Amino acid sequence: MNARHAGSFRALLGLNFLVWFAGYQVFPVVPLHLRDLGATLAGSGRFAAFLTVGTAVGALLMGRLGDRVGPARLFRLSAAGLVVVLASYGLLSQVWPFLLLAPLHGLLWAGMKTSGMAMATHLLPVEDRASGLSWFGLSGALGVALGPLAGLQAFPVVGFRLQILATAALFVLLAFGPGLGALRAEPISQAEGPWPGRRILIPGLIIFAWGWAQGLLPPFSAQEARHLGLAWPSALLTCFALGMLASRSAFGLMGRGMAPLRPLPALMAGGLAALLLLGLLPGGLLRHALGGALFGACLGLSHTLLFAEASARCGPRRTEAVGLMYLAYETGMGLGAGLVGQAMEHVARLRGDGFAFRSGWLLGGLLILAALPLALRARRRTLATPGGPTLTPGP
């Protein structure tokens, strides 16, 4: 990487940290606020489902838009839109307007994530892309670690309205601050070549399965912590992010040149084990910490490797490929939060909230188990491909 790109990439790492720090202050707090406004367990999960539906649609649209207007411009416009949405949350006193705004929230959040990932893949040379994206993901994981910690500590002290307005102020900084100045001059890749959907079919199905499980964490982890009276309510999300930090740091240091999908089956087995720990291990705080850390380590590295593979397969249409991957991931998150949340509500009526939360973690592992054969197939193809860090194009 040349010196100019290296400086732009460092600036992008700082911006990516702020994106995830600001976003993950909101995600666990809004469901708690909705419960305070009278929403049911399933209703609070419905907010996450609606948000991720918007994110899934946004991933499909924003990738193509980013290839045309430029990812830096898309990043700023999305951040400015989120300022309006978050400020509106601070003025609401009923549940249903949150559900109306959630898809727009998700659409704009998708614009920020897709454009950030596209800028990172554009700056990184092919031989450094997998390890470079680990560092990029590391900055986001640090935001995920600190955002819920700050948000859940501030929520009972300053109240929802003041907290959400402070978070909106962070997005003002992202929309109008100087951090993207160095990236404006970067050339924008043109959308040439075939539509990337078929080329990323297997990575897309696998990331969908991960999304199904990950969608349960933001809406339900803090609610289970409140139910159990845990002194550290963000333990699961914070340890989840610390696990991502650890795995991405290790890969960033040691993974250069590794075939992206080679360790995928082991990572998926580890994610499944984490959900079994959350569903079956006795206790509360230790269960959240161990399960969150293991799940975060496995998901965080899988996410990095799958996106690196998709980007490598699709060449100049990488922004659109990133958008399609986020479409699969966010669709999985939305369906996981919505459908599993409905099942948990039914279980809660029969057996109580405590049993419902545990059953939800176990249901989260179903699609990871189902996707394991796809990961094994992808690994076999990786081992059969001589030379180069990525697979040959194909489904």
Query: What pLDDT is stored for residue 219 in this prediction?
Result: 85
CA distance 195 to 332: 22
Residue 54 located in a structural domain: yes
Domain enclosing residue 73, as ranges: 3-186+194-383
Q: What whole-number percentage of the chain has pLDDT above 90?
A: 36
Query: What pLDDT is stored for residue 72 in this prediction?
Result: 82
SS3 119: helix
Residue 354 located in a structural domain: yes
Over residues 349-358, mean pLDDT: 92
Phi-psi region of 387 (alpha: psi -120 to 50; beta: other; left: phi over 0): left
Provide the 8-state DSSP code for 282.
Answer: S
CATH number at residue 100: 1.20.1250.20
Kindly state the tokens that stand for 259: 């075939």
Residue 395 located in a structural domain: no
The tally of domains found in the chain comes to 1
Has residue 31 got a pLDDT over 70? Answer: yes
Residue 393 located in a structural domain: no
Cβ contacts of 367 within 8 Å, gap of 6 or more: 208, 209, 212, 213, 332
C-beta separation of 267 from 301 below 8 A: yes
Nearest of 257, 262, 254, 225 to residue 383 by alpha carbon: 262
Cβ contacts of 26 within 8 Å, gap of 6 or more: 86, 151, 164, 167
Residue 389 located in a structural domain: no
C-beta separation of 251 from 141 below 8 A: no
pLDDT digits (tens, 9 = 90+) for 91-106: 998 999 999 999 999 9
C-beta separation of 300 from 247 below 8 A: yes
Query: What pLDDT is stored for residue 214 in this prediction?
Result: 93
Q: What is the Cα gyration radius of the chain?
A: 20
Has residue 163 got a pLDDT over 90? Answer: yes
CA distance 251 to 257: 10
Q: Give the chain's mean pLDDT.
A: 83
CA distance 189 to 66: 10
Residue 104 located in a structural domain: yes
Kindly state the tokens that stand for 345: 């509500």
CA distances from 121 to 12, 237, 360 (A): 11, 27, 35
Residue 394 located in a structural domain: no
pLDDT digits (tens, 9 = 90+) for 363-390: 999 999 999 999 998 887 766 554 444 4
Residue 311 located in a structural domain: yes
